């Protein structure tokens, strides 16, 4: 192989690598990332896409070159050149995919461990943890803190820093809705509210069939299985409203099983909790007043009817005060 051909191959490979790296980082295929953990998924996705783009360009370049270089010429009816196996080439196309598959497997396993458990699984297996060195958690945390610093409320960082424990929220999936319950309160809503910068743990369950809790902007997807408890953890880092989608075919109205996730400031989140509790108390109070009025009317009606039967008002008052069905 002459020097000009070697130079051409080197230039071609360099261009392919540059194009693949650029596309891997600027593909625009993922929605906005709104959680700290989303950077882990995005880095993994972009890495895989870079590898896939490089392989695609190399294969297509070789294919197009071969079609032009080795095409049949007019009037050439001879047999093709006999080509035997190439040991070095076979070693290369076996070793390179093997290394890539092992690397992708470890990388993916590490990301899965962080997304599921909040820490890299490889840390307990004698493998080098990739979470901070490779996956860019510092960059995600810095982005979250920069955004919070730009908020008008100067007390936000203090409130976030003081919330060290994950906020647990129970999530029930049913045909065809999501129900969110906040432990320590009686609040149950059809929309999910979380404070920015606070680690959130969703405890998932299903009442009927298998559903899948999916928030595309958070890169979260977890099945909810009847009789089996599952959970996911994340830390929202951008204020806004994000869709919650069921990603598992669960019935005839599967496409309509949606909800909204609201990322609020800690102050707005606390105000929302207070308002929900006040609305709940007001609703219970109105129900109690209505029940008392109905019971009173019911007792008066019974008193008028039971006088003819010789039943005293004292006996009537001693009856259990329960609402009729």
Q: Are residues 52 and 111 in the same domain?
A: yes
pTM: 0.66
Q: Are residues 177 and 318 in the same domain?
A: yes
**Ordered per-residue pLDDT tens for the chain, 325 residues:** 678 888 888 888 899 999 999 999 998 898 889 998 888 889 999 999 999 999 999 999 999 998 998 888 888 888 877 878 888 889 988 999 999 999 999 998 888 887 776 554 443 333 333 434 344 444 544 554 454 454 444 344 434 444 568 899 999 999 889 999 998 888 889 999 999 999 999 999 999 999 999 999 998 889 999 999 888 889 999 999 999 999 999 888 898 899 999 999 999 999 999 888 888 877 765 544 444 444 454 555 555 555 655 555 655 455 444 444 4
Q: Are residues 53 and 192 in the same domain?
A: no
List Cβ neighbours of 275 (8 Å cut-off, separation of 6 or more): none
Q: Are residues 111 and 172 in the same domain?
A: no
β-strand 258-264 against 240-246: which pairing, if any?
Answer: antiparallel
Residue 138 lies in a domain: no
Q: What is the CATH number of the domain that holds 280?
A: 2.60.40.420
The CA distance from 44 to 66, in Å, is 33
Going through the chain in order, the beta strands assigned E by DSSP cover 167-174, 177-181, 188-189, 192-195, 200-206, 211-215, 220-224, 230-234, 240-246, 258-264
Q: Are residues 101 and 221 in the same domain?
A: no
Q: Are residues 116 and 261 in the same domain?
A: no
Q: Are residues 202 and 117 in the same domain?
A: no
The CA distance from 286 to 289, in Å, is 5
Angle ∠(232,237,239) on CA atoms, nearest 5: 110
The count of structural domains within the chain is 2
Residue 156 lies in a domain: no
Q: Are residues 56 and 191 in the same domain?
A: no
> What domain range is 58 assigned to?
3-69+87-124
Residue 109 lies in a domain: yes
Q: Are residues 256 and 182 in the same domain?
A: yes
């Amino acid at each position: 192989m002459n020097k000009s051909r070697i130079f051409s191959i080197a230039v071609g490979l360099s261009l392919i690598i540059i194009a693949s790296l650029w596309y891997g980082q600027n593909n625009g295929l993922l929605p906005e990332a709104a959680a700290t953990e989303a950077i882990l998924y995005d880095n993994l996705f972009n890495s895989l896409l870079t590898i896939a783009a490089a392989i695609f360009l190399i294969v297509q370049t070789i294919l197009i070159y071969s079609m032009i270089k080795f095409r049949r010429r007019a009037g050439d009816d001879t047999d093709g050149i006999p080509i035997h196996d190439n040991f070095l080439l076979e070693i290369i196309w076996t070793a390179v995919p093997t290394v890539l598959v092992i690397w992708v497997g470890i990388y993916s396993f590490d990301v899965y461990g962080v997304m599921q458990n909040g820490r890299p699984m490889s840390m307990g297996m004698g493998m080098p943890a990739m979470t901070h060195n490779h996956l860019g958690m510092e960059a995600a945390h810095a982005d979250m803190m920069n955004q919070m610093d730009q908020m008008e409320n100067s007390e936000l960082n203090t409130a976030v820093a003081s919330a060290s424990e994950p906020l647990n929220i129970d999530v029930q999936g049913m045909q065809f809705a999501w129900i969110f319950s906040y432990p320590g309160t009686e609040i149950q809503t059809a929309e999910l509210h979380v404070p920015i910068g606070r680690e959130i743990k969703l405890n998932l369950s299903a009442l009927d069939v298998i559903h899948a809790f999916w928030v595309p902007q958070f890169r979260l997807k977890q099945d909810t299985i009847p009789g089996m408890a599952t959970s996911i953890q994340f830390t929202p880092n951008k204020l806004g409203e994000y869709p919650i989608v069921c990603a598992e075919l669960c019935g005839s109205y599967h496409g309509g099983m949606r909800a909204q996730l609201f990322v609020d400031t800690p102050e707005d989140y606390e105000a929302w909790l207070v308002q929900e509790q006040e609305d709940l108390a007001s609703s219970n109070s109105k129900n109690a007043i209505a029940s008392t009025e109905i019971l009173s009317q019911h007792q008066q009606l019974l008193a008028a009817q039971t006088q003819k039967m010789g039943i005293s008002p004292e006996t009537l008052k001693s009856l259990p005060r329960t609402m009729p069905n």
